[in-house]
Amino acid sequence: MNDMPPAGAGPAVLSTSVPPPSGAPARPAGDLVGALDAVRRRLASMNSSLPGYATDAVDVLLDFANQVGTSDVHLQPAETGLDVRFRHDGVLQPVAVVTPGTSSSISARLKVLADLLTYRTDVPQEGRIAKPRHGREIRVSTFPTLHGERVVLRFFGHQREFSRLEDLGNPPQLTARIRDALVETSGAMLVTGPAGSGKSTTLYACLRHIVLDSGGARSVVSIEDPIEVPVAGVAQSQVDPASGFDLKTGLRSLMRQDPEVIMVGEIRDRDTAEFAIQASLTGQLLLGTFHSDTSAGAVTRLIEMGIEPFLVRSGLITVVTQRLLRTLCQQCARESTDPATFYGMEVDRARVPGGCPQCNGTGYRGRAMISEFLDVRNDQIGRAILRKADSRELYRIAIDNGMTPMFMQAGSLVREGRTSPAEVWRVLGSAIRV
């Protein structure tokens, strides 16, 4: 490891004693390893005492993020320096620990690019770099911490490789059921899951399918915060709460635009949920994302938010819940018969991660989607909703009526040798049972 000079006196040296990364590259491993080596060398060669240091350091980090196609970059100040990490295949991986004393200048540079207040370091701020030279819109979020401002960058526009429903990796029968739901002329389809589960990617694939399937004959509009990917044939709008253009106002105005399909980027509160369900009952197909762990949980959460059960029953078509599992590197994965590596899964053997140059030592490369499709149009599910059945009962009824739960799909991936029990446990936790 290089010795660090005093802050502001010489090169901003990178600490190379970071732990090995725990995610996997979606691009060829050589690209990721080379990009990491390059960004570390460039940061280590920079002189933090020069006036243009912060500008150059930010450019290097943004170039790196664009090259590896990351979704997020985290910059967290600590006593040892500015800890830089990036998210790859859903897992944070270390990039560098930059010399102490540089975090404030780097965060200030990012705030300038995002039109934030550089003199306010005591309150959280959010902004956007709308037209970066690196090509992708970036959301910038700052948050005051003990050692300075923590900055998180969210990059948009990397879903092009998953542009169609068939590209998402769902089982053919589930893809067919989604296509059937998108033919409906009224009702709501919600895509749920935690942050980073690919909800927006699925919604954009649905929009593209509607546009192509209808030949442009359907009026398709969206209201988003923010617009992550432009979709040809869709009139997309981005909310601006500062000017009074919020989701509720936008939805009300969109109803006067003669829409046939409305996409709501995220349903966060009761007002938006209620308006969305009402819109789905008046002759529009509504698509939206919603935070929920399970498909049945999404239904009960709507009722708990104050939406009447009969509106949920009448307005909802389906709830699609999904997760992303890292897939094993096929170069170094090894077979295990040790029950300790099965994490409670009912299997006799499983492949587990190894670690090699091809996967940057992580044991994983790429990700696979698992999903479940709850059809609210089913009579038994509908009756359970009307009597306010809890999520466990609703989930059981859905499985009894043909829904394949995510943990069963995850078990199939384990048996096929595509992922490991440890990865299923990381993503699904106590739901792991096959």
- For the segment 197-222, what is each residue's pLDDT rounded down to a tens digit? 989 999 999 999 999 999 989 999 99
Q: Which residue has the higher pLDDT, 134 or 432?
A: 134
Over residues 279-293, the pLDDT tens digits come to 899 889 999 999 888
11 DSSP 8-state letter:
B
Say what the pTM is.
0.81
Which CATH number is 29-155 given? 3.30.450.90
Kindly tell me if the per-residue pLDDT of 344 is higher than 90: no
Q: Give the pLDDT confidence score for residue 9 in this predicted structure.
A: 37
| DSSP line for 69-128 | T-SEEEEEEETTEEEEEEEETTEEEEEEEE-TT-HHHHHHHHHHHTT--TT--SS-EEEE
Where in the chain is CATH 3.40.50.300?
160-431
Residue 179 contacts residue 159 (beta carbons within 8 Å)? no
**What topology does CATH give the domain 160-431?**
Rossmann fold (3.40.50)
The pLDDT, as a whole number, for residue 195 is: 84
One-letter amino acid of 131 = K
Task: Please name which of 299, 277, 411, 262 lies closest in space to residue 344, comparing C-alpha atoms.
Answer: 411
- Please tell me which residue, 157 or 417, carries the higher pLDDT value: 417
Residues of the chain with CATH 3.30.450.90: 29-155
Angle between helices 406-415 and 421-428 in degrees, nearest 10:
160
Q: Residues 162-165: contacts with CB within 8 Å, 24+ apart?
A: 162/198, 162/201, 162/205, 163/204, 163/205, 163/208, 164/205, 164/208, 164/209, 165/205, 165/206, 165/209
Tokens of 12: 């901003």
**In this predicted structure, what is the pLDDT of residue 279?**
87
pLDDT of 128 reads 86
**Amino acid letter, 143:** F
Q: What is the pLDDT confidence band of residue 135, given thresholds at 50, 70 and 90? A: low
- d(Cα 407, Cα 428) in Å, to the nearest integer? 8
Cα separation, 113 vs 41, in Å, equals: 24
pLDDT band for position 247 (50/70/90)? Answer: confident
What pLDDT is attached to residue 240?
84
Q: Are 184 and 284 in contact (CB under 8 A)?
A: no
